[in-house]
Structure 1
Amino acid sequence: MAKIVLSLGGSILVPSLESHTVSEYVAALTEMATRAQVFVVVGGGGEARRYIRAARSLGISEASSDEIGIMVTRINATLLMLALGDAAYPAIATSYRQAREFGESGKIVVMGGVTPGQTTDAVSAVLAETVGADVIINGTSVDAIYSADPKVEKDARRYDHLTPAELLGIISSARLDAGSNTVIDIVAAKVIERSGIPLAVIDGRNPRNLVVAVCEGKFEGTIVSEGACSPFPL
């Protein structure tokens, strides 16, 4: 069976205290798990960034601020894991070794952050190497990778396909402060380049986009790989 690592933004899963997409993701992940073994790495989203801003205002170091952000990612991961019920391994993984071991159950494995200085995108890329994933999916708040933030620059170029080297060229100036928020960070991009595992950037605001890509091969977004072929359907 194919293996998927999904990097799921916290702002996609829990965009505010008043709304969330957890139920929709439970349905989507359960369906995807009929076609592939699924590992999910959940980010901290806006809540993590709010805590990190509060930490900085108190003079707390970037490393310690990262630790606080990791705690928030694990809260989000726990929320998703519990909502998945019997479909998920009944604990969140806190290391790559644990995630690999939990995956032997055949259930969906959920985890959050691991190491200060690494975003959950980087965690997803390293996890994909660890478990030998066939594809990494980045469920994000944009519909593809652009040459610049399309919410800021209306004439930003949209990419259907990039090589890992081209992706690195686009994001090489990204900052890595605690709570940084880019479509994917440079550490993740470098791991993707060395591993050769394809990355698919998909609009995660509608979880059905992921199901349609994985199960039907109808993909809209950006593929990052040396070749232009889509890894879908699995």
Structure 2
Amino acid sequence: MLIVMSLGGSILAGDLDPLRFKKYADALLEMSKEHHLLIVTGGGVYARKYIEAARGVGADEVTCDFIGIDVTRLNAKLLIAALGSAAYPEVPQNYNEAAMAMESKKIVVMGGVLPGQTTDAVSAALSEYLKADLLIIPTSVDGIYTADPNVDKTAKKYPVMTATELVNLSAGMSLKAGSKSPIDPIACKLIERGGIRTIVMDGRRLDDLVELVKEEAKGPQKESCGTIIVP
């Protein structure tokens, strides 16, 4: 399978713990034995801190976006270092470079690309462009809920939902640089347009992540540890 993964900065680089990067690298190395992987790293808390500082000095939103992109690419370089020789050594700067890097058969790791796009949107666009078999979005929650489960204790998790339902749920989310949401509206629309099978899950559970890929390799599963988004 060709798998694109949007690896959120909050779970990968929340505290810049080298051990965390190594643990994710080990999980990705295990998956790469049987599958082709392209990883898009997020910026996380440090991107948001830089963006807040940029706004504080009067930067416009496009400039803030570029600053966030720079941080995502730093996180990508750290993950490449943790993966060692199994990773493509450079961080692709755009979709064409990513496609060419995939020809190496190594794990490709990149960050953001364009202003106005989150790393989820980049991952969704790449999934469509590369005709990926699966898009995985590991986050700090275990799926998509009717409301923020950290705020609303009555929020219900969707075990399965359609891409159209996802688009409707995402309507009204913030598009500002550094915004924090389960999946941003642009990514949702791209998932719907591309008919991309997508799974949103708790990325802190690395054993679940590896097991999910093993099960999906047998064929599309009807349930998972997260939320399955079907075309």
- Asked if 1:109 is matched to 2:114, the reply is no
Moved more, 208-217 or 99-108: 208-217
> 1:1-234 maps to which residues of 2 (within 5 A)?
2-17=1-16, 21-217=20-216, 219-226=224-231
TM-score by structure 2 length?
0.95
Tell me, yes or no, if the aligned pair for 2:196 and 2:230 is still in contact at 8 Å: yes
Deviation, structure 1 residue 219: 2.7
**SS of residue paired to 1:138:** strand
**SS of residue paired to 2:6:** strand
Tell me, yes or no, if the aligned pair for 1:35 and 1:215 is still in contact at 8 Å: no
Deviation, structure 1 residue 19: 6.5
Q: Give per-residue Cα distances to partners, 1:78-103, cap 9 Å, x unaligned.
A: 00011101111111111110111000
One-letter amino acid matched to 1:10: G
- Residue correspondences, number: 225
**SS of residue paired to 2:191:** helix
One-letter amino acid matched to 1:223: I
**SS of residue paired to 1:110:** strand
Tell me, yes or no, if the aligned pair for 2:41 and 2:119 is still in contact at 8 Å: yes
Gaps of 5+ in 2: 217-222
One-letter amino acid matched to 1:148: A
One-letter amino acid matched to 1:164: A
Please give the alpha-carbon distance, in whole angstroms, between the structure 2 residues aligned to 1:39 and 1:185: 20
Deviation, structure 1 residue 55: 0.5
Deviation, structure 1 residue 210: 1.2
After the TM superposition, list the runs of 4 or more consecutive aligned residues in structure 1 that deviate by more than 2 angstroms: 17-20, 216-219
Percent identity between matched residues is 50
Please give the alpha-carbon distance, in whole angstroms, between the structure 1 residues aligned to 2:77 and 2:181: 24
Please give the alpha-carbon distance, in whole angstroms, between the structure 2 residues aligned to 1:208 and 1:130: 29
Tell me, yes or no, if the aligned pair for 2:143 and 2:226 is still in contact at 8 Å: yes
One-letter amino acid matched to 1:196: G
Q: Give per-residue Cα distances to partners, 1:155-185, cap 9 Å, x unaligned.
A: 0111000101101111111010010111111
**SS of residue paired to 1:21:** helix
Gaps of 5+ in 1: 227-234
Tell me, yes or no, if the aligned pair for 2:41 and 2:112 is still in contact at 8 Å: yes
Distance 1:17-1:103 versus aligned 2 partners, 3 A rule: closer
Please give the alpha-carbon distance, in whole angstroms, between the structure 2 residues aligned to 1:222 and 1:52: 30
